[in-house]
Amino acid sequence: MTVQKTYQGLRVLELGSVIAGPFAAMIFADLGADVVKIESPNGGDDSRRVPPNLGTQSTLYQMMNRNKRSLVLDLKAERGREALLRLADSADIVIESFRPGVSDRLGIGYAALRERSPALIYCSVSAFGESPSGRGLPGYDPLIQAFVGLMSMTGDPSAPPARVAASVIDLTTGMWAAMGVMAALARRAQDGKGHYVESTLVDSGYMLLCHQISSMLATGEVPTRIGSASPIAAPYEAYRTADGWLMIAAGNDASFGRLCKALGLPELLERDEFRSNAGRIGHRHELNAILQQCLEQETSASWTTLLEAEGVPVGPVQDLDQAVQHPIMAERAMLVVPEGTAPQRASILRVPFDDARPPRLRAAPTLGEHSAEILCEIGLSTEEIDVMLSATAPATPAKKS
C-alpha cells in the first residue's frame, strides 16, 4: 500500500475545531501535506470530548484528525502567538474557524500573516462570514439546516421538521474550503501570490439546495415535506414491504412500464392519469396506494430480485450496519485501520478520490503529542521549549488530604 502524496512538502496550519475546519485540513493531510493542528491548552479541540469513545479517544476526533500533528499553544499569551507567527512563516496554508474578528484581535488574521508571508493562502471557515446580518449569529450544523430551509422540507408531511442525520452542512463546508484552497494553490502557481479563501456554513447550505432554490424562484412554489418522495418524478420513493422498506426510482415512462409489468399491474398503463410523469406526480397518492398494497405482500429481497431482473431502478432501505457490511464497502476499500500505538483504533473512512487503494493513515494525535518536535522545527531552544510546554501543561488536580 502506498501513501497518497499529492501535497507532499506542503505545510498546513489548522486552527479549527469539531468538523468543518478540521475536515478541510484532513483532506490535505490524507493527500500528503504536513498538517499541524494548533490546539488550546484548555483541552484542545472540542471534538476530543464528543462521545462515543474508543478507548480514551472520541471516534469523531479520530476520524477528522488522522495524519495530523498536534501542537498545544496558548494564543492568548504573547509567547504562544509568537510561536504561531514563526510557524506561519514556514506554512503554505492556514485554515482557521474562529468566529469573525477573533483571529484579527489575536494578531493572527490574514492581514498580519500576509505581511510576514505574501505567498500564504489563508482560509477562514465560519457560519455566516463577515456579513453584518449574520456575523454574530451562532453557527452549528442543525441551526444552519433550519436557517436555510433544509429542515422545513425534510421528513414526513405529518411529522415535525427533521434534521438530515449526516452533518451535511459541516462536511460540505469543509469540502468547499478544501476546494477553495486548491484553487488558490493553482492561482499561486501562476502569480506567486497568496490568497484569501472564505467558506461558510450558510453558503454551503444554500448550495445544497441549489436546484430547489432555482425551481422556487422560477415557479413561486415553496418546497414542503414529502417524505422520501421526489417532487419531479413518481413513483420515486420508499415503500413498505412484508419485512422492511424498498426504494423505487421509476423516474421515467419506460421504467414505470417495466415496474407495472413486474408487479403484475399492466392495467395502470391504460389509465390516463398515469400515462405521463406529470400525471403520476399529480396523482401520486392514488398511485402509491395501489403500489403499496401490492408491495407489502412480499419481502424486500424478493422484490429487489424481481424488479432488478426487469430493469427497474430499485434498492433496499438499509440500516447503517447493513450498508457497512455490504460487499461493496470491502470492494471499494473505504475502511482503513490507522497506524499507531494505541491498543484500540477505530476503522475510519478514506477520502473517496485520488486512489481507490487504501492509503496508510496515521492515527489522530493525542493532545500536544508533537509540540516539542514542532517547536524545535521553528528554532526554539530546549530551554524555550521546556518553558512553553510547562506553561501549557494541564493542571494536576490537588490531592485531597
- Residues 54 and 17: their CA atoms lie apart, in Å, by 19
Options 34, 45, 170, 203, the catalytic residue:
170
What are the residue ranges of CATH 3.30.1540.10 in the chain? 236-240+245-316
CATH architecture for the domain at 11-208+327-392: 3-Layer(aba) Sandwich (3.40)
Residue whose C-alpha cell is 483532506: 27
Other Cβ atoms less than 10 A from the Cβ of 119: the count is 13
DSSP assigned state of 362: B
CATH number of 236-240+245-316: 3.30.1540.10
What are the residue ranges of CATH 3.40.50.10540 in the chain? 11-208+327-392
Active site residue 354: no
Q: Yes or no: say if 67 and 348 are a contact pair by the CB < 8 Å rule.
A: no
**Each residue's pLDDT tens digit in the chain (401 positions)?**
444 588 999 999 999 899 999 999 999 999 999 999 999 999 999 999 999 998 888 999 999 999 999 999 999 999 999 999 999 999 999 999 999 999 999 999 999 999 999 999 999 999 999 888 888 888 899 999 999 999 999 999 999 999 999 999 999 999 999 999 999 999 999 999 999 999 999 999 999 999 999 999 999 999 999 999 999 999 999 999 999 999 999 999 999 999 999 999 999 999 999 999 999 999 999 999 999 999 999 999 999 999 999 999 999 999 999 999 999 999 988 898 888 755 566 788 998 876 646 567 889 999 999 999 999 999 999 999 998 898 888 765 455 44
- Residues 34 and 71: their CA atoms lie apart, in Å, by 13
